[in-house]
Structures are given as C-alpha cells and as structure tokens.
Chains A and B, each alone.
Chain A
Amino acid sequence: MQCISFEQIGVLHKRFKQLSHNEETLRRDHFNEIDDLAFNPIRAQIIEAFFDRRNFHQNGEGKVQEIGFEEFVVVMSHFRPPSAHMTEEQRGKTRREKLRFLFNMHDTDNDGIITLEEYRHVVEELLSRSGTLEKETAKCIADAAMLEVASISVGHMEPDEFYEGITFEHFLKLLERFEIESRMIIRFLNMDTTTLCK
C-alpha cells in the first residue's frame, strides 16, 4: 500500500494552514470560503465528509465540529493512488475503503443503508443545481435508479417485501465494474501556486 510521502504531507500542511488561516483546526466555514468549491453541486456532501467520524477510522460514528490536520490528511488519503504492485487482496481492500467513502457520502444518518430519501436527496442536489433538470425529474431518476438497484440486488421480491435501501454490500456489488481503485486518485504534489498566493 502506497503511503502519502513526506513531501505530500508538507504540501497538504501548507494548504491546511492556508485554509484555516493559520489556526490549528478547520471548521465548516473555512471550507465554504473556497471559491472554486462554490460551483460544485455536491459541495455540502463533500464538506460533510470531512467532518464525518466514519471517514477517520473504521468504527467511528457521528460528526465533529472541527478537524485538525491529522483528520484532514486521513480524509485526503482516501484519494491516494494505489501502488503499482498490489496483490488481489490489497486491491480489494483499497476498493472497499474507497467505495466506503463514497457510500458514506450518501448515507447521511449512518445506519449502513442508503435509503430512498437519502439517495433522492443526493441525486436532487447533483442534478437540479445546474438548473437544467427540474426537481421532479431528478426525483424520478433517483426512484428509477433505486428500483433498478432493488431489482438487481434482490431480484424477485415478495409482495409484502419492502426494499429499505442500498446496503454497503449491495453498493459494492453494483459498482463492480466501476474501476474505483484506479480512478479515485488525486496527485497531491503539484500545487496551484495561484491558490497559495491568495
């Protein structure tokens, strides 16, 4: 497993200081100040992800109000590239971790299930912010996707059955073809000098 190098940590630390205005911790308003983030339709989810204990260590729960540098790096480390020589097992593990991060962004109430409500919320944010799709359409798309998920992961359902939502196992299975281990990657080295000067 490739780790984040000292150099990268240095870069991230610089950025951290810059974002927090040289304070020890980062709060949500600090994130809201980032200009580039303003256009992002799922800004809220992203910011929440930084304050989500589940993303810090495995059995975390709940939210925090401010994060230190360590947490910042831990969240960022979800986006590190995989090392070139990985065994199948390691690959699977990386995959799980990365998908877990995505899953947590959906699952806001931390019950291990993405319910329809939660999913709908995300899709609405994602699609209707741009103003091209109406809320109604976004909702329907979310529903259709959910139904699809239900039919894929459960198959035939009894009449009285109720599909609660996507569990993590289903999520893993559904996104099997999604090569996340080679896509959820960010290079932390080349810093944008202009943002540093701001």
Chain B
Amino acid sequence: MATLWRFTLFLCMLLMACEGLSLASEEAKTRNTQTETGTASSSNTTGEGGHGGAPITTLPIVTWKWDHISVQYLVALWVLVCWLCKLLIEANHNVTNYIPESALLICSGFILGGMIWGADKVQTFSLSPTVFFYFLLPQIILDSGYHMPNKLFFTNLGAILIHAVIGTCWNAASLGLSLWGCHMGGAMGDLDIGLLQYLLFGSLMAAVDPVAVLAVFDQVHVNEVLFIIVFGESLLNDGVTVVLFNVFDAFVSLGGGRINAAEIIKGIVSFFVVAFGGSLVGIAFGILISLLTRCTKNIQIIEPGFIFVMGYLSYLTAEMLSLSAILSTTFCGVLCQKYVRANMDESSVQTVKYAMKVFANGSETIIFVFLGISAIDKVIWVWNTGFILLTVFFVFVYRFIGVFFLQWILNRYRLVPVELIDMVIMSYGGLRGAVAYGLAVLLDEKKIKEKNLMICTTLIVVYFTVILQGITMKPLVMWLKVKRAAVTEVSLLEKITNKMFNHTLVAIEDISGQIGDNYFRGKWRHFEEKWMTPFLMKPSARKKQDDVFDVFHQLNLKDAMEYVTEGERRGSLEFVRNDSAILDFKKKLESEYTEVMPDIPPYMINDHGAMFTMGRDHIPSVSLEMHEQTMKAMRGAEAVDVHHLLDQHLYKSRKQYRHGFSRSDFKINRDEKEVQEIFQRTMRNRLESFKSAKMGVSPPKTIVKYSKKEQQEKTPNGKSVSKTKLCHSGDEDFEFSEGDSASGYDSSYPSFSMRATYRPGGGIENPAFVPDLYPTDLLQEIPPWLAESEPDSSMVAPSLRAQANLPNSPMEMRRLGLLRASTRSTDTKQMNNDQLPPPPTSPPPPPPPSGQM
C-alpha cells in the first residue's frame, strides 16, 4: 500500500509540473490542436514561435520560450511519465506476479487521466490514431517480425492463416449480424445504427491485437505452438481487418442501395491485393535491407540504423499504397533477420536487438498508458447497457466458437493435434487492443452517428479483454495444466541432432516419395542455399549463417566472458604459469593421442607443434579434467591467454572515452598532440621499467638486439615514427611494450607478476596482452630460423611455447580456440608448424596467433 501511495504522490508531482507548463502555454497562445495528442508529431507547431511578438525595448537576457518547444517538451515528458509508470509497476514483483503489466499500465493510465481531468476539466491528452499508427505501432511490429521464430512460424503458417483470415471474417460477420439482430429485436433501445454500420463496427472489433497478445503471453510462457498460432494470427489478421474496415467504411459511405455484386467482388479482390501486396512490399524491403547490410562495413556505426529506417519505410510505403502496413513490416523483419544477422558486425547485431527491444517495449508502454488516459473523457462515455454488454458477450463467445470450429477442422490435418485445453487458451487469448481503438477513433462522425458509443464500447472491450482476461490468463493456464514452454538452453548436441533430424525427415519423405511439410522445407532450403544466400549475404558471413555454428559461436563468447570474469575475480595479474603442469599435460596428451588415433605416425607426435594443433581437438574430448593442480595451473595460463584476447578489445574501448567527440572514428587516436603526450609519458615509464627489469637477468641476444633496434628507431624521433604504428595497431600503448616484454622474456614466467608491479600510468599493468602481440612483431622482425639458430633460444622457448599453446588451450578453452581456427588463423598456424622444423630440444617457435601475418 505504501508503495502505491508513493507512486500516486510521485505521479501527482510530475503531473503538476506537466500541467503547469501546459496551462502556461494556454495563456500564452491558443493551444495548437496537435498538442492535444500528447505525443504528437512536431510538424506544425515548431515554426509558430513567438518571434513575431511585440517589439522589444531592450535586450532580454533570458526569455521564456515555451511556445517554441511545447510540443517536443510534452512528447518527451509523456514518454518519461509512461516509462516511470512502468518503472514503478515493475518495482514490486508481488503485484506483477498476479496482474499482467499491461493491465497495470492501463490502470495507471486511469489515474493519470483522472489527474488531467481534475486539472483541466477536459481531456487534453488522448491517443490519436495518427500517433498510434505512425509513431507507436511500427516499431512493435518490426520488432516482432525481426524476432519471429521463423521455423515455427512457417511450420504453422497454414493454421495461422486460417485463423487470421477465416477467423477474423467470422468474428466480424457474426458480431455485426448478431448485434443487428439484437437491435432489431429491441434489446438496445433507440439507436441510429444500420446493418452496415454494425458490420463496420464488427470488423474493427474483430482483430486480435498483436500488442496486447504479446504483452500478456510474454508473461505466461505457454508452449510455443500455442503461442505462435495466437501471435501469428494477431499479426497476420491485420490485412483482413484493414480490408474489412475499408470495405465497410466505403459501403457505409455509398449507402445500402448502391451496393451490388460488383462492389462486393471488388471488396474480395481488394482483400487479396491488400494482403499480398503488403507482404510483397515487405519482402522487397527485406531484400533491400539484406543487400544494404552487405556493404555497410565502412560505416559500422550507423549500420544498425538502416534496419530501423528501412523497416519504417516499408511500413510507410505499404501505407502509402493503401496496402497492409503491418503485414509489410512483419514480412520485412521475418525475411531480413537471417541475412542481417549474418552480414552485420556482432556489435551491430546486438545493437539492433537491444534498440529494437527498447523501442518496442517503450512504445508498448506508452500505448497502454494512453489507452488508460483516453478513457477519462466525458465526451466519449455514452452508455447503452444493451449495446455494450452484448458486444462484450458476443466478442467473447464468438471467439470461442470460431477458434474451436476452425481448430477442429485443422486438427484433422495435423499430425499432432492441438489439444482441447490449448484451444481454450487460444480462444481466451483473443485480446483486443489499441488497434481496435485506433480504428474506432478513425470513424467518421458524420456518417456514423453513434461514433462515441462505439469508441466507448471498444474501450470497454479492450479493458475487459486486456485487464480481466489478462489477469485470469495465468491462473487459467495453471489450472488447466497447459503445456508450458520448455526452458531452452540449447546445447550443441541438441542443435546438431536437431539439424540431423530435420535432414532425416526430409530424406525419409523423399524415400517414401511424398510431399509433406518437410518436403517443402527441404526444397526451400536448397533454393535458399543456391540462390538467396550468395546474393544476399556477404561471402565471409556465409559460414556464420549455420545455426549450429551460431550456437557454437555463442558458447565461445560465453566461455570467453566467463574467463574474464573469473580472471578478474581472482585478480587477473596473479596468474602464474606453471611449467610442470604444462609438461604434465603434454605427456598425458601424447598417451591419449596414441590411444585415440593409433594410426597417426609417431613422428607427428614428436612434433609438438603438429601435435598441439591436432591435439587440441582431442584433449577436450578425451580427458575431461586433469588433476586439480594441473587444472588450476592450466586455467591460470589460459586465463592469461584469454585475457589477452579480450583485454586488447577492452583496452581499445577505453580509448573511446578519451576522445569521445568523434562520432564515427573511435578506433584510432589521430590527435597528434595527444598521441605525443601519451607517447612521451608512457615512454618514460617504459624506459624506467625496462632498465629496472634488465638489471636482474641478462636477456637473450636477439631479444636485446631487437628491443634496442626498436628503441633506437623510436626514441630519437619517436614523435613522428610512432604515429604510423599507432594507427595501424590502434593502441599506442602496446607498441612500447617491447621494452617490458623483452625484459619479461628473459625472466621467463615470473615476468607476469613482475610486470604487474608497473604503475598504472604506464598503461601496461595488464600482462595479458603483452605476449600476444609481441611474438607477432617478433616474427616479423626476426626470421624464425634466426631465432632458432640462436643458442639462447631455449631461454625464449617457454614463453613462446606458451604462445603456441595459446589457441590450443585445453578444457573450456577449446571453443575459444576453435573460434580462432575458424577465422583462418589455424591455417596460418598449421602452415607455420609444417614449415618449421621441430627444434631439437625445446617446444616449437610461436606461430603467429592472430591473422596479422
């Protein structure tokens, strides 16, 4: 209760602020009609500022310019208020557990509306169809299309279409006719509504609303077939609704007398045109998006924006051609999702995903709140008990009848019939929402005298379905024991088996010589692989499209992230490489290697490099875990390695903050002065630490030579030389790490801990990324044979071997290792290992780990 009070109080205050502002605006100028929509577009009001006011006598320092920004300000404020409502609602979970969020949002809309009414005595803000259809709905539809589970959707497309087309027509016709019948029977008293108007009303009430359905079903987690049928229906029936609405609207304008067979046929034709035309527009835009994302590599930052802009354009284009906009956007999202995900950069894909959710969830919130606010308006409340109650009753009953009948027919053709309980939920999930309300507001008052009654009835039906059915949905699902969705954490094995299984089904169908669902799916997949994919997907991305690879990739990412967290938790700087553990591990590997593949000639096993590259595939699969100590040590070593990989990236991103002004170029620091400044500072650090490190042990010759050469190259004219290097490496700090690393090398393993003592200003306290880059450079500068013939090379070996070990790390690292393998680095590595003769005493020289060669 306390929370509730706080909530109200808070909203009161917010509204006072809002009201104060809006009242002020009224005093200043006549209110622009557009502001009444609350979230109105900024088209008209912006230009009408107060510039043409009275001539000023003196220069004002500060002026009150509310009129300039009133619309934009109110829009922003309302968005804020709506989202704060959501915040407050989500704050107490014991309420949202029982009552769905959408219902609560509508209720908070009531409260807000009440406050506005109290202040203004007139409903200033309400949901206008323009705002709803052009600014709030598109992103929700795009989101649901883009995140549509494609396979599930297309498997059940038949059922979805039947429900969407026939079900919706049935709902519209039955509701309209029954109401008319009741009217004739005298159940509603004196109303000026004819048969056509009733049918028009029926058609706007018929459509199940995607926003409401998604909001309620999202929280219930019913099984996926049930969900996709209801949700798919709600998306696809838009085409039907739009057509029915337009047709009956036209019929009402024409008047009953002039409707003949030709007009009716035109209506039926227009249905097909609108539905298929809309879908085609969507498909065209989907292909366009896919093609566009093929070539956005150079403008990665705004890459995600294309999806939104094109998605919106597909909506508007369909609307412009008077086709079904919802169908268009849905199919656009469904089609492009696969290609977009493959073509774009990983971070862009994530951005699209999250931004999509932000927009969709945000506007969903706004829609529900405004549905609540719109109710508090004396004008629209025209009460007619008979009409309203009968509508609610018919909507509910006919939905049940329609769903049961259609599903009963469909079940005869389904191999796995939809159960009776599921049908109940399907019927019960026929929620009406903002689409119906938006259409009702669109009605022409001149033609339909009882428009307000219709709006009022629509609102009541919406509240009835969203609030009452929404609240009771969850208990009902529990009580009926509806099969719930399994918690899916897909394992690789499942994914592979699934893929194999699908192929098996297609094959068996082929063998038994028949056309089934799988037959078409197989053919489609073949067609897609042959034509669509090469056309719409970047060549480099094609391998990523495989869903198995995708899971694999996800697991890799997860692993890598776990490693960083784990490392950081332990204090990443304290990883100590344990030499004996590695040796131990190697021995084990050798024995197992022969065990698993006895046909491999023994010389290959002696060749450590080859063994490691090939062995990587074995270790994880054969011996799951080494003894504890080994494991720990290995994990430390791995963590260091992984740390490398990741910290390089993390490190880069830190750079971003340093010069965040640039909108596009965040990778390279081009500010010369800054570079010089950093260079000088870090250089000094480096030199000092280098000296101190050098004092301890005498480093191997090559290394010294090398580092000296580097130093000479840089220190005298470092200011100019370093520049190019920085640009190419993208990280000025590591260029100087040569000094430390060289010192690190001679002292071999303990070097990690030693480096850890450097001052943070040096920018290199993370040991992780040093060796990774180092040998790459090293290899470039020093030919491998030179390094090997060097008598001291055994000193270098351990850390180098560790380097060789890097991608091959065992255990959990296997996936990470593979990730690299997949990006051609293995090839280079393997090549290297083949080319280089095995060193006589020590493990092999380092193959370059990353693709810099």
Partner-B contacts on A (CB < 8 A): 11-12, 15, 18-19, 31, 34, 36-37, 39-43, 46, 50, 76, 79, 81, 84, 102, 105, 116-117, 122-123, 126-127, 130, 132-134, 136-137, 139-152, 154, 156-163, 174-175, 177-178, 180, 182-192, 195-196
Q: Which of B186-194, B510-518, B839-847 contacts A (4 or more CB under 8 A)?
A: B510-518
By a CB distance below 8 angstroms, the chain B residues around A192 are 513-515, 519
Cβ-defined contact, B501 with A186, below 8 A: no
Task: Count contacts on B: residues with CB < 8 A to the other chain.
Answer: 64
CA distance A133 to B617 in the complex (A): 17
By a CB distance below 8 angstroms, the chain A residues around B519 are 192
Cβ-defined contact, A175 with B494, below 8 A: yes
Chain B: which residue is nearest A46 at the CB level?
B507
Cβ-defined contact, A187 with B555, below 8 A: no
- Closest-CB distance, A117 to chain B (whole angstroms): 8
Known: A37-B507, A141-B818. A177 touches B494 (CB 8 A): yes
By a CB distance below 8 angstroms, the chain B residues around A50 are 511
By a CB distance below 8 angstroms, the chain B residues around A183 are 501
CA distance A139 to B552 in the complex (A): 12
Give the top 5 A-B pairs by smallest Cβ distance, nearest first: A157-B624, A140-B818, A145-B492, A36-B510, A159-B627
CA distance A192 to B512 in the complex (A): 9
From B415, B522, B588, B818, A187 is in contact (CB under 8 Å) with B415
Cβ-defined contact, B624 with A150, below 8 A: yes
By a CB distance below 8 angstroms, the chain B residues around A130 are 529, 546
Residue B710 is within 8 A (CB to CB) of chain A in the complex: no
Chain B: which residue is nearest A151 at the CB level?
B624
CA distance A123 to B621 in the complex (A): 15
Chain B: which residue is nearest A12 at the CB level?
B512
- Closest-CB distance, A120 to chain B (whole angstroms): 8
Residue B526 is within 8 A (CB to CB) of chain A in the complex: yes
Chain B: which residue is nearest A195 at the CB level?
B513
By a CB distance below 8 angstroms, the chain A residues around B518 are 186
Known: A144-B552, A148-B493. A102 touches B504 (CB 8 A): yes
Chain B: which residue is nearest A182 at the CB level?
B416
From B504, B522, B542, B822, A140 is in contact (CB under 8 Å) with B822
Query: Could you list 18 examples of A-B contacts with CB < 8 Å?
Result: A31-B511, A76-B512, A130-B529, A133-B543, A137-B543, A143-B818, A144-B555, A145-B491, A146-B621, A159-B630, A160-B623, A161-B624, A175-B493, A178-B497, A183-B501, A185-B415, A186-B509, A192-B513
B557-596 interface bits toward A, Cβ cutoff 8 Å, 1 = contact, 0 = none: 0000000000000000000000000000000100010011
- Closest-CB distance, B328 to chain A (whole angstroms): 31
Cβ-defined contact, A122 with B822, below 8 A: no
- Closest-CB distance, B504 to chain A (whole angstroms): 6
By a CB distance below 8 angstroms, the chain B residues around A151 are 624
Cβ-defined contact, A143 with B620, below 8 A: yes
From A11, A102, A147, B620 is in contact (CB under 8 Å) with A147
By a CB distance below 8 angstroms, the chain A residues around B416 are 81, 182, 185
Cβ-defined contact, A159 with B626, below 8 A: yes
Cβ-defined contact, A139 with B617, below 8 A: yes
Partner-A contacts on B (CB < 8 A): 415-417, 486, 488, 491-494, 496-501, 503-516, 518-519, 522, 526, 529, 542-543, 545-546, 548-549, 552, 555, 588, 592, 595-596, 617-618, 620-627, 630, 814-815, 817-818, 821-822, 826
- Closest-CB distance, A86 to chain B (whole angstroms): 12
Chain A: which residue is nearest B815 at the CB level?
A144
Chain B: which residue is nearest A157 at the CB level?
B624
From A123, A126, A148, A191, B514 is in contact (CB under 8 Å) with A191
Cβ-defined contact, A145 with B493, below 8 A: yes
Cβ-defined contact, A42 with B491, below 8 A: no
SS class, residues of chain A in contact with chain B: helix
By a CB distance below 8 angstroms, the chain A residues around B623 are 157, 159-163
Cβ-defined contact, B508 with A46, below 8 A: yes
Cβ-defined contact, B513 with A133, below 8 A: no
By a CB distance below 8 angstroms, the chain A residues around B500 are 42, 102, 105, 122, 126
By a CB distance below 8 angstroms, the chain A residues around B499 are 126
By a CB distance below 8 angstroms, the chain B residues around A148 are 491-493
By a CB distance below 8 angstroms, the chain B residues around A157 are 623-625
CA distance A165 to B795 in the complex (A): 41
CA distance A66 to B517 in the complex (A): 30
By a CB distance below 8 angstroms, the chain B residues around A122 are 500
Q: A140-B821, A174-B493 are in contact. List 19 more A-B contacts (CB 8 A).
A: A36-B510, A37-B510, A42-B504, A42-B507, A105-B504, A130-B529, A134-B543, A136-B826, A143-B618, A144-B555, A144-B814, A144-B815, A147-B624, A161-B623, A177-B486, A177-B488, A183-B501, A185-B416, A191-B514
Cβ-defined contact, B546 with A174, below 8 A: no
CA distance A18 to B625 in the complex (A): 54
Cβ-defined contact, B625 with A159, below 8 A: yes
CA distance A142 to B491 in the complex (A): 12
CA distance A61 to B515 in the complex (A): 33
Chain B: which residue is nearest A125 at the CB level?
B500
Cβ-defined contact, B513 with A116, below 8 A: no
CA distance A111 to B562 in the complex (A): 37
By a CB distance below 8 angstroms, the chain B residues around A154 are 624
By a CB distance below 8 angstroms, the chain A residues around B814 are 140, 143-144, 147
From A134, A178, A186, B498 is in contact (CB under 8 Å) with A178
Cβ-defined contact, A40 with B510, below 8 A: yes
From A43, A136, A185, A188, B507 is in contact (CB under 8 Å) with A43
By a CB distance below 8 angstroms, the chain A residues around B415 are 81, 182, 185, 187
Known: A15-B513, A79-B508. A116 touches B488 (CB 8 A): no
CA distance A42 to B503 in the complex (A): 7
Cβ-defined contact, B498 with A190, below 8 A: no
Cβ-defined contact, B621 with A147, below 8 A: yes
CA distance A132 to B548 in the complex (A): 12
Known: A42-B507, A130-B529, A132-B543. A144 touches B494 (CB 8 A): no
CA distance A102 to B499 in the complex (A): 12
Cβ-defined contact, B501 with A102, below 8 A: yes
Cβ-defined contact, A136 with B821, below 8 A: yes
CA distance A154 to B621 in the complex (A): 12
By a CB distance below 8 angstroms, the chain A residues around B507 are 37, 40, 42-43, 46
- Closest-CB distance, A39 to chain B (whole angstroms): 5
- Closest-CB distance, B652 to chain A (whole angstroms): 27
By a CB distance below 8 angstroms, the chain A residues around B491 are 145, 148, 152, 174
By a CB distance below 8 angstroms, the chain A residues around B546 are 127, 130, 132-133
By a CB distance below 8 angstroms, the chain B residues around A123 are 496
CA distance A110 to B473 in the complex (A): 50
Chain A: which residue is nearest B541 at the CB level?
A132
Known: A159-B627, A192-B519. A149 touches B508 (CB 8 A): no
By a CB distance below 8 angstroms, the chain B residues around A182 are 415-416
CA distance A133 to B596 in the complex (A): 25
CA distance A127 to B624 in the complex (A): 25
Known: A143-B814, A174-B493, A177-B494. A46 touches B511 (CB 8 A): yes
By a CB distance below 8 angstroms, the chain B residues around A42 are 500, 503-504, 507
CA distance A154 to B595 in the complex (A): 20
Cβ-defined contact, A188 with B514, below 8 A: yes
From B497, B516, B555, B588, A190 is in contact (CB under 8 Å) with B516
By a CB distance below 8 angstroms, the chain A residues around B627 are 158-159
Known: A144-B620, A157-B623. A190 touches B515 (CB 8 A): yes
- Closest-CB distance, A168 to chain B (whole angstroms): 13
Cβ-defined contact, B621 with A163, below 8 A: yes
Cβ-defined contact, A34 with B493, below 8 A: no
CA distance A142 to B505 in the complex (A): 22
Cβ-defined contact, B503 with A126, below 8 A: yes
- Closest-CB distance, B631 to chain A (whole angstroms): 8
CA distance A142 to B621 in the complex (A): 9
By a CB distance below 8 angstroms, the chain B residues around A144 are 492, 552, 555, 620, 814-815, 818
Which of A18, A37, A187, A195 has the largest number of chain B CB atoms within 10 A?
Answer: A187
By a CB distance below 8 angstroms, the chain B residues around A46 are 503-504, 507-508, 511
Cβ-defined contact, B514 with A190, below 8 A: yes
CA distance A62 to B421 in the complex (A): 46
